[in-house]
Homo-oligomer: A and B are copies of this chain.
Amino acid sequence: MALKKIRAVQFGLGPIGIECMKWILKKPGYKLVGAIDIDPAKIGKSLDTIMGEKTKTGIVVSDDPKAVFAKTKPDIVLHTTQSSLKKVFPQLELIIKAGINVVSSTEELLLPDLQNPTLAKKIDLLAKKHGVSVLGTGVNPGFVMDTLPLCLSSMCLEIQSISVRRELDAGKRRLPLQKKVGSCLSAAEFQALKKQNKIGHVGLRESLELILKGLGWKADKVVETLDPVVADRKLTTEYFTIDKGRVCGIKHVIRALKSKKQVVTLDLRMYVGAPESFDLVEIDGTPPIKCRFTGGIQGDKATVAALVNSAPRVVSAAPGLLTMKDLKLPLGFDPRIVS
């Protein structure tokens, strides 16, 4: 069989996008053919300058997706721009209409049916019309709190409940994450942001619903709580110091209830000063399953892996809007062959 490289365009050159490109360049199965961003500081610049080190792609960053697609004819776009489906829809529409598959880190795209069934339907029809596949994925949402527990549930004959706890020390992560979890805020500031829906993990509800959908369950009620974690001592990270009593992170929990029993619980704690990062998946079922990841699955790298590793699966999938449960087993292979 002839080896055919997957031609990829990177759409969105934030930290995740830059990391995606680094690995696309490294993996023999890929060829990076274009880079798109809206940042005036990047447009027209040489990608090699932005990437630094010894990158020699000759690619110039463009803000004109149509022109890039027409010129480079990619197999897939790795899309890493925003969390909101509504906001990224025009970008997705451009990609799909150009007849290109897309794998995206947009959290709401994990299960777009949930927030916006009309838009989801539109994407699905559009993708089918143009013969391409669209997938939203990542580490969370996309794996730890949805795909992974679903995969483990395949070993169970009966399931009473599933719970996932992900706890991570935000102090060891990059600055945007430390800020995202509300570090240094007062309790009042946290609550104000919460009211405006400007703090908390995006995608928790999507993960929960993907599990329910995967298991064929309907919940009577879904309860979501978001609370600040408050520093019980002075905390210092690479970037700043959090005084005792100020916010150092979030505790974001979502529960699905059926007949007043918790059937799915996703408990996410991201805060500076967490004594240990870990992921814990527990299935109360036949047989029961209890699985713990020492150190947790490291977020930033794993999100990039999810995108890069999904690409060959998305390229060869049947056209339409996909979710992780509709895709073939995710795996970390080196995609040298597009079938």
Could you tell me which A residues sit within 8 Å of B by CB distance? Answer: 23, 139, 143, 147-148, 150-151, 153-157, 159, 214-216, 285-295, 297-298, 301-302, 304-306, 308-310, 324-336
- Provide the main secondary structure of the chain A interface: mixed
Question: Which residues in B have their C-beta under 8 angstroms from that of A309?
Answer: 153-154, 156
Question: Which residues in B have their C-beta under 8 angstroms from that of A215?
Answer: 331-334
CB-based contact A304/B154 at 8 Å: no
Name which of A156, A157, A215, A292 has the most chain B CB atoms within 10 A of its CB: A157
CB-based contact A332/B156 at 8 Å: yes
The 7 listed contacts between A and B (C-beta, < 8 Å) are A23-B157, A150-B329, A151-B151, A155-B302, A215-B332, A215-B334, A290-B294
CB-based contact B333/A214 at 8 Å: yes
Given contact pairs A214-B333, A216-B336, A292-B294, a sample of 19 additional A-B residue pairs in the complex whose CB atoms are under 8 Å apart: A148-B151, A151-B329, A151-B330, A151-B331, A153-B332, A154-B309, A155-B306, A155-B332, A156-B302, A286-B301, A287-B302, A290-B294, A290-B295, A291-B292, A325-B328, A325-B329, A328-B328, A328-B329, A329-B330
Chain B minimum-CB-distance residue to A329: B325
Question: Which residues in B have their C-beta under 8 angstroms from that of A293?
Answer: 289-291
A327 to B329, CA, bound (A): 6
CB-based contact B302/A297 at 8 Å: no
Question: Which residues in B have their C-beta under 8 angstroms from that of A310?
Answer: 154
Chain B minimum-CB-distance residue to A150: B331
